[in-house]
Amino acid sequence: MKGETRVISAFVIVVGCLSYFFIVTFHLTESPPLPSTFQITWSNEYKINGQKLRGFVKTETGEKLYVVYTFSSEEEKSFYENTSLTGRVYLVHGELIAPLPPAHAYAFSMEEYLISKGANGIFEVSSLTFKEEKKSIGSFLAKQRHYMKKHIETTFPETLVAEAQALLIGSQDQVDHELQRAYQKLGITHLFAISGLHVALVSWLFFEGLLRIGVRKEMATLVLLIILPIYGVIAGGAPSVWRAVSVVELIMLMRYAKWQISIDDALAISFICFVLLEPGVIFQIGFQLSYLATVSLVYSGVILTLSSNWLIRSFLITFVCQLLVYPLLLHHFYEISISSFLANIIFVPLFSFVILPLNIALFVLTIISMPVAKALFDIYEPCRVWLTKFILYLQEIPFQLWSPGKPAIWLICVALISVLVGFYFIEIKHYGKFLVVVFLPALCIHLSPMLFNETKLTFLNVGQGDCTVIELPFRRAVYVVDSGGVLRFGQEVWKASDSPYEVGRQVVVPFLKGKGIRDIDVFIATHADADHVEGAEEILQEINMHEIHLTPGSMDKPVMRDLLMEAKKKKVPVKEKMQGTAWRLGKTSFQYLWPRDTLYEGNNDSIVLYIQQESFRALLTGDLEAHGEQELIDLYNKQLADITLLKAGHHGSKTSSSEPFVELLRPELTIFSAGLNNRYHHPHEEIVERFTSRNLWTLTTGIVGTIEVKIRGDSWSVQKEKDLVQ
C-alpha cells in the first residue's frame, strides 16, 4: 500500500511539473490570429458589473477567450441580467487585445489570471448578434442556478441576499467589501465560499433524508452519485467544490463496485484529472489552497487524535490547516490572520451547522410557502444582522494580521518544510523542537523585507495620478507621498460599477503589503486633487500611519473629507506643513521647499519635497506649475541646479516643467507619473521634447510601469518593473 501511495504521489508531482512547463513554454495567452467576426458560446463564468459584461466563452474551434462587452443602453443591460447566457451562441465583431501588465510585482496580473483559466486572450466585442441556444445538461443547470440567484434576490430580505447567494450557489457578487474584509481579518473567508465542508453537509442531508423516507442504502448511494455533480454545477464549480465532489464520487463508486480506495488515493486521482483536463488550474489560488488544506487533514490523523475534547480537536483541525497553508497564503496575499486560529473554532460550527442549514431551509420555504418564510425571516434577520455587527466589531481589534510581505521562493520552501518537520515533532510529542523549527523560518520571513542598506524611491504606476514610496535603509522609516486616485465623473446610475476601481486599495495597498511595509511614518498629501489623495483613506484603513502632512488650507476641500474622517477615527495626527520644515535620518535629509503661505489656491500650493543623500538629490513637485517653479528658481537657485532626479510637476502637463526650470535643474532622470493613453495626453510631447532636446533621460510610469530608484552612497540605479535599465 505504501509503495502504491509513493507511486501515485510521484505521478502527481510529475504531472504538476509537466503542466507547469507546458503552460510556460507555449504561453497559452498568446493566441493565433482571430477573424474580426466569429461565433462564440458563453460558458457559466461571466459577470455583469455596471456597463460591462465580462466572461469566458468558447469559439467554434474550441478556443477559450475572455470577452468584454459594453452595454449600449439600460434596457440591453436589463435583458442580459435577466437571461442565463450559458450555452447561448452569438456572432461577435471586435478585436483581440493584449492584457495590460500589472501595475507592479504585487498587483493583480490579468495575464496570469487568463493562464490559470486556460484562456487565450481578451476579445473586446463591439457588436454581438444572437444566433441560437445550445441545449445541454450544463446549460439547463446554469439556467437553474440563474433562477436560484434571481429567486434569492426577490424573496430574501436585502441584508440576507449576499450571504444566501454565497452559501447556496457560490456567487459572491453582492458581498459587501467591508464585511468581506472583516472575514479576511478573522481568517474565516472560506466560510463564505462553498467548500468541501458544504459538500459533505449537503451529501449527508440528502443521504440521511433518503434513508429516513425509506429509500434503501444502495439506492440512496446511487441517487447521491447523480445529485453531487448537479450540485457542483449549481454551486458555481469552484475548484474546492469539484475537489470535494470528485473525491466523494470516486470513493462511493469504488464502494459501490466493492473496491476499496483510500481517501489519499482518491485525492491524488482527483488532482491528476483536474490538471490533465485544465493544466492552468494549477495556478489558481483556490485550487492550491483546497488541495493543500485537505492533504493537511488527511495526513494529520495522529495529531488530531491527541485530544478527545471537541474544543481542542476543533482547534487542532484549524491549527493544522492554517499552519500548512501559511507559506502559500503569504506568497499570494502577503499576510495571514493570526486570529483565525481562534475564530474558526467559533464560526466554522456556527456556519456549518446553523447558518448554512438555515439558508437551505429558508430557500426551500420561499418556494413552498412565502408567509412561513417571512415569519422565519422576521426572527432570523435581526439575529444575523447582530452577528454581522459582532463580526465587524471583532475585526477592529488590532494586531490580528501578520503582514511580513511576499517572501522569496526559497523562504517559502523552507517554511513549508519546517511545518512538515514540525508536525513530525508534534506526533512524537517534542513540542519544544516544534516551536523552534516552525518559529525560526517565520522570524526570517518577518525580518527579510527590512534587510537592505540602500534608500529606495518607488514611483508607483497608479494610472493618471501620483504615488511615491520612500524607504530608508533597513526600513528605518517609510514615507509615502500622495496616494493616487480616480477622478470620478458623474454618470447614469445603471452605468455605475457595483465595485468601483479603487487605486489605494487595489494598487498601493498590495504594493505596501507585498513589500512587508506595515507602518507609514509620514503620509504626505501634496495637495487636494483626487488623483493625488483620493486613495489615501483606503491606505489608512489597511496600513498604520503615524502622521499625515497636508499643504496649508487644503483641509476644507471635499476630496480630503474621507481621509480626515478616517484619520480622526484612527487617531492619526494631521498637520499642515509648509516651507522650512526639515528633518534628517541617517545620511538622508528631507526638506519642504514649498508652499510659503497658508492660503490654498490649488496646484501651485503643492508641497514640494527635496531629498538629499550625499551627492544624490531629488525633487518631488506634486502638481506645481510654472508660477510655482519660478518661485523655486528665485529661492533655491544653487540648491536645485543640476539635480539628480526630478518627479515632474502635474504629470508632464504643458503648464509645468517650464523652460527656465528645466534649464536650471537639468535632471539626470525625470519621471512623469501619468497613465497610459490618458485623456489629458500627459506627458505632453512638447514637455518631453524639452527634456530630450537637452539629452536628459525621462521615464513615464504609464509606459514603463512602476519605477524604483535605489541609492547607495554616491551611486544610484533604476529598475522599471523587473528589468534593470541602468
Rounded-to-integer distance, Cα 295 and Cα 386, Å? 36
Q: Which of 106, 134, 162 corresponds to the end of one domain?
A: 134
Rounded-to-integer distance, Cα 319 and Cα 74, Å? 49
Summarize the confidence of residues 653-667 as an average pLDDT: 95
- Residues 628 and 538 reside in one and the same domain: yes
Query: What is the pLDDT, as a whole number, of residue 27?
Result: 46
- Residues 149 and 116 reside in one and the same domain: no
Residue from 644, 694, 654 nearest 674 by CA: 654
Distances (CA, A) of 312 to 189, 201, 309, 342: 22, 22, 5, 11
Summarize the confidence of residues 336-358 as an average pLDDT: 88
Q: Which residues contact 243 (CB under 8 A, 6 or more apart)?
A: 196, 267, 270, 271, 274, 287, 290, 291, 294
- Residues 167 and 221 reside in one and the same domain: yes
Distances (CA, A) of 719 to 531, 669, 701: 24, 12, 12
Query: What is the pLDDT, as a whole number, of residue 28?
Result: 46
- Residues 684 and 592 reside in one and the same domain: yes
C-alpha cell at 2: 505504501
- Residues 208 and 346 reside in one and the same domain: yes
Distances (CA, A) of 464 to 50, 529, 645, 680: 22, 12, 20, 9
pLDDT tens digit string along 3-24? 555 555 566 566 666 655 555 5
For residue 6, being part of any structural domain is answered with no
Residue matched to cell numbers 446511487:
222
Rounded-to-integer distance, Cα 322 and Cα 284, Å? 18
Bridge partners (DSSP) of residue 433 are: none
In this predicted structure, the answer to whether residue 678 has a pLDDT above a threshold of 80 is yes
Query: What is the pLDDT, as a whole number, of residue 179?
Result: 86
For residue 587, being part of any structural domain is answered with yes
pLDDT tens digit string along 426-445? 999 999 999 999 999 999 99
- Residues 396 and 426 reside in one and the same domain: no
Total count of domains within the chain: 4
Cβ-in-10-Å burial (0-12, 13-18, 19+) of 228 comes to buried
Q: Is the peptide bond before 683 cis (omega within 30 degrees of 0)?
A: yes
Secondary structure in 3-state letters for 122-165: EEEEEEEEEEEECCCHHHHHHHHHHHHHHHHHHHCCHHHHHHHH
- Residues 372 and 440 reside in one and the same domain: no
Q: Quick check: helix, strand or coil at residue 455?
A: strand
Query: What is the pLDDT, as a whole number, of residue 323?
Result: 92
Summarize the confidence of residues 28-42 as an average pLDDT: 73
Query: What is the pLDDT, as a whole number, of residue 726?
Result: 39
For residue 20, being part of any structural domain is answered with no
Rounded-to-integer distance, Cα 565 and Cα 538, Å? 12
pLDDT tens digit string along 177-189? 888 888 889 888 8
Rounded-to-integer distance, Cα 244 and Cα 221, Å? 16
Q: Which of 388, 418, 450 corresponds to the end of one domain?
A: 450
Rounded-to-integer distance, Cα 505 and Cα 512, Å? 10
- Residues 237 and 350 reside in one and the same domain: yes
For residue 243, being part of any structural domain is answered with yes
Q: Quick check: helix, strand or coil at residue 239?
A: helix
For residue 42, being part of any structural domain is answered with yes
Could you tell me the residue range of the domain that residue 159 belongs to?
143-299+338-406
The larger pLDDT score, comparing residue 586 to residue 11, is at 586
Q: Which of 389, 421, 450 corresponds to the end of one domain?
A: 450
- Residues 418 and 467 reside in one and the same domain: no
| pLDDT cut 90: percent of the chain above it | 59
The dihedral of CA 384, 187, 293, 107: what is its sign? positive
pLDDT tens digit string along 188-225? 888 777 777 777 777 777 778 888 888 888 788 888 88
Query: What is the pLDDT, as a whole number, of residue 29?
Result: 46
- Please report, for the domain that includes residue 124, its CATH number: 2.40.50.960
For residue 512, being part of any structural domain is answered with yes
- Residues 160 and 176 reside in one and the same domain: yes
Cβ distance 41 to 87 under 8 Å? yes
For residue 5, being part of any structural domain is answered with no
Of the ranges 21-35, 289-303, 638-652, which one carries the lowest mean pLDDT score? 21-35
- Residues 267 and 385 reside in one and the same domain: yes
pLDDT tens digit string along 536-557? 999 999 999 999 999 999 999 9
Rounded-to-integer distance, Cα 436 and Cα 426, Å? 12
Residue from 574, 195, 177 nearest 395 by CA: 177
- Please report, for the domain that includes residue 565, its CATH number: 3.60.15.10
Rounded-to-integer distance, Cα 526 and Cα 557, Å? 13
Rounded-to-integer distance, Cα 541 and Cα 695, Å? 43
Neighbours of 303 (CB within 10 A): 19
Of the ranges 54-68, 158-172, 234-248, 470-484, which one carries the lowest mean pLDDT score? 234-248
Query: What is the pLDDT, as a whole number, of residue 725?
Result: 38
pLDDT band at 490 (very low <50, low <70, confident <90, very high): low
Query: What is the pLDDT, as a whole number, of residue 637?
Result: 93
What is the rounded average pLDDT for all residues in the chain? 89
Bridge partners (DSSP) of residue 147 are: none
Cβ distance 93 to 60 under 8 Å? no
- Residues 248 and 385 reside in one and the same domain: yes
pLDDT band at 349 (very low <50, low <70, confident <90, very high): confident
How far does the chain reach from its first CA to its final CA, in angstroms? 58
Letter string b/e over residues 66-88, b meaning 16 or more CB atoms within 10 A of that residue's CB: bbebebeeeeebeeeeeebbbbb
Bridge partners (DSSP) of residue 709 are: 457, 718
Rounded-to-integer distance, Cα 531 and Cα 536, Å? 10
For residue 460, being part of any structural domain is answered with yes
pLDDT band at 723 (very low <50, low <70, confident <90, very high): low
Of the ranges 247-251, 254-258, 617-621, which one carries the lowest mean pLDDT score? 254-258
Of the ranges 134-143, 565-574, 604-613, which one carries the lowest mean pLDDT score? 134-143
